Amino acid sequence: MPKKPGAPISVQATARHAVILAGGSGTRLWPLSRTLFPKQLLALNGEMTLLQQTVTRVLGAFAPENIWVVTNEEHVFEVRSQIRAINPELNAHVLAEPTARNTLPAILLALDRIAPRGDAAALGTLVGVFPSDHLVADLDAWVRSVEQGLALAEAGRFVTFGVTPAKPETGYGYIERGDALGGGAFDVRQFIEKPRLEKALEFVRSGRHYWNSGMFVFRAGEFLSAVERFEPKLWDWWADRGDRPMAQSYAGLPNISVDYGIVEKIGGIAVVEAKFDWDDLGNWEAVYRLGKKDAGGNVIQGDVLALDCRDCLLISKGGKLAAVGMSNMIMVQTRDATLACPHEGVQRVKEIVTMLKAQGSQLVENHLTVKRPWGSYSVLEEGQFYKIKRIEVSPGARLSLQMHHHRSEHWVVIAGTALVEIGGEERLLVENQAVDIGKATTHRLANPGKVPLEIIEIQSGPYLEEDDIVRFDDVYGRVKQENS
């Protein structure tokens, strides 16, 4: 039997690791946030995405080789690309969930690397867990708070971080503090789920309640002991899997958050009062509130023409957005969808996403432009029996060797040089040259050049969805049948 974590370790931990959770979907920020390109991958308040801001922040307290990013399998290549732009050393530390199973299984996925079974010394490792989609304004203050939390964890406490509420927010969980521990740290009296407005007002006035930031610090062994005690099914998966890879049975795990599964059940938790400005950017009202406003109180991003508008959030990521005489409104436009609602209606955006899912709409899943490890594709037009795409392949990249049962394709090179393999034969194509690929014919597209390759792809057939792909070989190690 695998060795159990046992009692808390008394010796000082010699290592600290950070786990960044980057698997969320961010449905309340639709239509910018989609399943295949969620909130944490977006730049909502500057040039850096929320994920990149989080990684930069965590680098202030943790060594690059000790930072682990857990994301969904569908996002792993984009996550790697974004963090590689910050620090190439982090590229190898991206872990992929085969399917989303909430924050507790995701943390265990990272702990398999940080404190592998049988490594008793690693059980003393300090571990910090941080969401990837939050906004923090003061990096130095954040680092100081985390260092305080690490010191408490070193002394044997499970630590969370509470933010002094700026308003009666009903979309956040709350923490009620107990006895003071010194230096702005307190015992936790209780955790409180998202309250009604009356309760939220009471919490703000009390001075004893914090917003729950979703950040935690603990020692690995103590966390695993809590899993064994409170979530035996997860413990059995962790402890008794033998040589089976953790991902193999991941889909069968309970969908459970670390708050509900562990944090709200164990005793001896400490809360550090955050000394930094924090927001989880959970809806469009938060993006407006934190954005730079013009003379009319408007936050404007993209190709927007605003006439006589006040206190509006106006964002365009595709086409001209013109607004006249609007007040207290949210308007977000992409190439394929537009959202319009008053500020007080932002919490209902999630209902729109639910309705779209029920209709089977692809507007929930992806944008017209979809990023892939080899580049990207954009849907230009589609009808019942045809679809037209613009495909861009990065220099040196290539798609999988594949075939389709239900569609044929016609490729036209518009920029760069294409290396095309069809039925086992290769040929080079340059600008204005074209090629046809019949149904059930193996084919591959590659870019052997030094500049991006751009082609127009015309698909025709009775079924044109992305699951009509049989993949034979793929340099990116993908096993799902998805767009190449």
- Give the pLDDT of residue 14: 58
Are the C-beta atoms of residues 14 and 24 closer than 8 Å to each other?
Answer: no
- Give the pLDDT of residue 116: 86
- Give the pLDDT of residue 11: 36
Taking only the tens of pLDDT, the chain with its 484 residues reads 334 443 333 334 459 999 999 987 778 899 999 988 899 999 988 889 999 999 999 999 999 999 999 998 888 889 998 999 988 877 778 998 888 889 999 999 999 999 987 788 899 999 999 999 999 989 999 999 999 999 999 998 999 999 999 889 888 899 999 999 998 999 999 999 988 999 999 999 999 999 999 999 999 999 999 999 999 999 988 887 767 777 778 888 889 999 999 998 988 899 999 989 999 888 999 999 989 999 999 999 999 999 999 999 999 998 999 999 999 999 999 999 999 999 999 989 999 999 999 998 989 988 889 888 899 999 999 889 999 999 999 999 999 999 999 999 999 999 999 999 999 999 999 999 999 999 999 999 999 999 999 999 999 999 998 888 999 998 887 654 444 4
**Six-digit token string for 302:** 């993209």
- What is the separation of C-alpha 248 from the centre of its chain, rounded to a whole number of angstroms? 22
Are the C-beta atoms of residues 468 and 406 closer than 8 Å to each other?
Answer: yes
Closest by CA position to 5, among listed 114, 121, 107, 113: 121
Ordered domains of the chain (ranges, CATH): 16-279 (3.90.550.10), 284-358 (no CATH), 369-473 (2.60.120.10)
Separation between Cα atoms, residue 145 and residue 447, nearest integer Å: 48
Residue 432's CB is within 10 A of a number of other CB atoms, namely: 8
Angle of helix 232-239 relative to helix 220-230, nearest 10 degrees, comes to 120
- Give the pLDDT of residue 250: 84
Q: What is the 3-state secondary structure (H, E, C) of 224-273?
A: HHHHHHHCHHHHHHHHCCCCCCHHHHHHHCCCCCHHHHHHCCCCCEEEEE
Separation between Cα atoms, residue 345 and residue 348, nearest integer Å: 6
Are the C-beta atoms of residues 250 and 101 closer than 8 Å to each other?
Answer: yes
Separation between Cα atoms, residue 245 and residue 481, nearest integer Å: 21
Residue 252's CB is within 10 A of a number of other CB atoms, namely: 10
Separation between Cα atoms, residue 21 and residue 214, nearest integer Å: 10
Q: How many CA atoms lie within 13 A of 221 on its CB side?
A: 21
**Six-digit token string for 124:** 């003393």
Closest by CA position to 159, among listed 183, 194, 134: 183
- Give the pLDDT of residue 467: 84
Residue 369's CB is within 10 A of a number of other CB atoms, namely: 18
Q: What are phi and psi of 73, to 5 degrees?
A: -55, -35
Neighbouring residues of 378: CB distance < 8 A, sequence distance ≥ 6: 368, 369, 370, 389, 390
**Six-digit token string for 236:** 């059995």
Separation between Cα atoms, residue 351 and residue 358, nearest integer Å: 11
